[in-house]
Structure 1
Amino acid sequence: MSDTSINTRADTGEAGFGDYFALLKPRVMSLVVFTAAVGLLAAPGGVHPFVAFCSILFIAVGGGASGALNMWWDADIDRVMKRTQSRPIPSGKVTPDEAMAIGVALSGFAVVMLGLAANWVAAGLLAFTIFFYVVIYTMWLKRWTPQNIVIGGAAGAFPPMIGWAVVTGGISIESVLMFTLIFMWTPPHFWALCLFMKSDYKDAGVPMLHVTHGHRVTRNHILVYTILLAIIAVGMAFTGVGGPIYLVTSLVLNALFLAGAVAIWRRDETVAERDGYKREKAFFGLSLLYLFLHFGAILAEAALAPYGWGGW
């Protein structure tokens, strides 16, 4: 099959496979898959590899369905914001009705198939995650309160809990802590992005913190949440998913993350504008590495545990 039959054909304006796949927010889906897989592999016990594969697949489909429904509802905002104008709906490649139909169909498919493949506790958590992201965050919080990303961040924090539930059929302190790690990481990660993408949300009328309360308040919030995040992240080293590898990784990452947050907090807006928000962009980039390496360390502890190397 040629590339022109798979991807968008610029000369015809017709949607291709790439446009429909873009509805699923593949970058976000990759984070969902990774954290869910870590939750599954770190959980005590185990499941058949085929069950594990199918479960992660259906969790990914559920995450993608949420993305499609988010794009359907936020099409008006996406048309205004520069970083989202090329998405399938604003660009005219996919209609809103198509996006909604795909999102609803994939949501039902993912939840039912996860229940059949694993258990209904995991399926219930997936269903609640989709509902929370689409209804609570996208339809309600996002356009109503500057704390939207704080509360709404819970939606992106559920995947490791779902992966854990696939194996155990329940919830534990370890899965809740993995949830909390992502939950507390989301605000400083996203607010750092907002600092150097400042005009997009204002133009779209989205009440992000930096729009409603200014950059100084946003910088203060980034520092406070980073301090709280560091306490939780390092504390996880002494739980069932932690160990020496995780502890060393977390100490180094949180030292760097705290230093970055303090640097942002000290910054004057005039200086930041002058250097093109260099430190804010560096902090945002570090935040991506921060989450990946924390969950990578949890995975390493779980992988080495059978050989007596992981955990305490």
Structure 2
Amino acid sequence: MTDATSNLAQSGEAQFGDYIALLKPRVMSLVVFTAMAGLLVAPVHVHPLLAFASILFIAIGGGASGALNMWWDADIDRVMKRTRNRPIPSGRVTADEALAVGLALSGLSVMMLGLASNWLAAGLLAFTIFFYAVIYTMWLKRSTPQNIVIGGAAGAFPPMIGWAVATGGVSVESVLMFMLIFMWTPPHFWALALFMKSDYKDAGVPMLTVTHGRKATRAHILVYTVLLVPFALALGVTSIGGPVYMGTALLLNALFLKGAWDIWRRDEAQAEADGYATEKSVFKLSLAYLFLHFLALMVQNLVPGFGWELLA
């Protein structure tokens, strides 16, 4: 590190990496991956340059949502251990700068996606940004323990947007991809909340673990995992399904169901005794669960000879 760079870091002034962090790059990577899956498995070929541009603008839109979320949530981010080092609470980026970045990138991403592909895809992206920034962040997150359930829709739209880029429409396949993420979100985040309860309580966020307790949260994880399974398997019998996807889905859903069952059976004494090992394991599994479902969809549709004829 040069002396100039060191002095800049010590002064607390924003650097390029701070603005990247403002866009929640880890969340953006999930947006990119699932949107790309939706685009690539669609039955309509998209020129590679157009596909790249569309995914880029979807990613920018996802980043814009993250910046707006950090702008609004700066007060609770300062309280939570998990978020106190984010750019705004740490003082590296001002709230006004975050708002300006979020609004500018929102407008840019929607307009450019509309010009590059079609206005249905752009409209879905605009609604996704609005839903995450306004419906979830400004309203649901601080008002109801169902914040994750309803707010999960924001993270579920990217594959539907990718599909719309390719086809110009919405179909059963894109709706089921949406539902896969939508129903996955609650057990994924509640598993995290079980071993992060104090953070949400200290910040005054009405997470289910805070409002209804961990026992109720464990039951909710099991119920939502059971409800998730039919949507995951239903994708296997659509035009984009096949033996590769179905085999992957059967294995992953069996493992996820077992994990949810194990969480439900445990009490707090057991969880505290082993440092919430099961809950942390299921949370990690939930990350692999979503990634592998969409990876299997892409393999199923992009690699020749992996259709149902494999079983003939």
| Length-normalised TM-score, structure 2 | 0.96
Tell me what 1:249 maps to: 248
Q: Say if 1:89 and 1:96, in contact at 8 Å, map to a contact too.
A: yes
> Given the superposition, is the C-alpha separation of residues 142 and 8 from structure 1 closer, same or farther in structure 2, using an over 3 Å criterion?
farther
Give the 5 Å matches for 1:146-185: 146-185=145-184
2:224 maps to 1:225:
yes
User: Residues 144-190 of structure 1, C-alpha deviation per residue, up to 9 Å, x if partnerless?
Assistant: 10000000000000000000000100100000000000000000000
Q: Say if 2:176 and 2:234, in contact at 8 Å, map to a contact too.
A: no
Q: Say if 1:41 and 1:299, in contact at 8 Å, map to a contact too.
A: yes
> Given the superposition, is the C-alpha separation of residues 145 and 116 from structure 1 closer, same or farther in structure 2, using an over 3 Å criterion?
same
> Given the superposition, is the C-alpha separation of residues 176 and 89 from structure 1 closer, same or farther in structure 2, using an over 3 Å criterion?
same
In structure 1, C-alpha distance between the alignment counterparts of 2:238 and 2:142, rounded to whole Å = 37
Tell me what 1:209 maps to: 208
In structure 1, C-alpha distance between the alignment counterparts of 2:203 and 2:2, rounded to whole Å = 34
Structure 2: tracts of 5 or more residues without a match: none
Residue 11 of structure 1 aligns to a residue whose secondary structure is: helix
2:297 maps to 1:309:
no
Post-superposition offset of 1:7 = 9.6
Tell me what 1:38 maps to: 37
Aligned length: 309
> Given the superposition, is the C-alpha separation of residues 37 and 278 from structure 1 closer, same or farther in structure 2, using an over 3 Å criterion?
same
Q: Say if 1:8 and 1:16, in contact at 8 Å, map to a contact too.
A: no
User: Residues 204-229 of structure 1, C-alpha deviation per residue, up to 9 Å, x if partnerless?
Assistant: 10101110000000000000001111
User: Residues 221-245 of structure 1, C-alpha deviation per residue, up to 9 Å, x if partnerless?
Assistant: 0000011111211221111121000
Q: Say if 2:144 and 2:206, in contact at 8 Å, map to a contact too.
A: yes
Q: Say if 2:248 and 2:296, in contact at 8 Å, map to a contact too.
A: yes
**Identical pairs, percent:** 72
Amino acid at match of 2:69: N
Post-superposition offset of 1:6 = 8.1
In structure 1, C-alpha distance between the alignment counterparts of 2:120 and 2:149, rounded to whole Å = 25
In structure 2, C-alpha distance between the alignment counterparts of 1:8 and 1:62, rounded to whole Å = 33
Tell me what 2:53 maps to: 54
> Given the superposition, is the C-alpha separation of residues 114 and 228 from structure 1 closer, same or farther in structure 2, using an over 3 Å criterion?
same
Amino acid at match of 1:123: A
Amino acid at match of 2:307: G
In structure 1, C-alpha distance between the alignment counterparts of 2:217 and 2:3, rounded to whole Å = 44
Amino acid at match of 1:269: E
- The range that moved more, 229-238 or 44-53, is 229-238
Give the 5 Å matches for 1:269-284: 269-284=268-283
Q: Say if 1:241 and 1:311, in contact at 8 Å, map to a contact too.
A: no
Post-superposition offset of 1:311 = 5.5
In structure 2, C-alpha distance between the alignment counterparts of 1:310 and 1:197, rounded to whole Å = 42
User: Residues 81-138 of structure 1, C-alpha deviation per residue, up to 9 Å, x if partnerless?
Assistant: 0000000000000000000000000000000000000000000000000000000000
> Given the superposition, is the C-alpha separation of residues 69 and 4 from structure 1 closer, same or farther in structure 2, using an over 3 Å criterion?
farther
Residue 10 of structure 2 aligns to a residue whose secondary structure is: coil
Tell me what 1:107 maps to: 106
Post-superposition offset of 1:8 = 9.7
In structure 2, C-alpha distance between the alignment counterparts of 1:181 and 1:4, rounded to whole Å = 50
Two-structure CA RMSD over aligned residues (Å): 1.5
Post-superposition offset of 1:310 = 3.2
In structure 1, C-alpha distance between the alignment counterparts of 2:187 and 2:2, rounded to whole Å = 39
- The range that moved more, 225-234 or 81-90, is 225-234
In structure 2, C-alpha distance between the alignment counterparts of 1:290 and 1:201, rounded to whole Å = 25
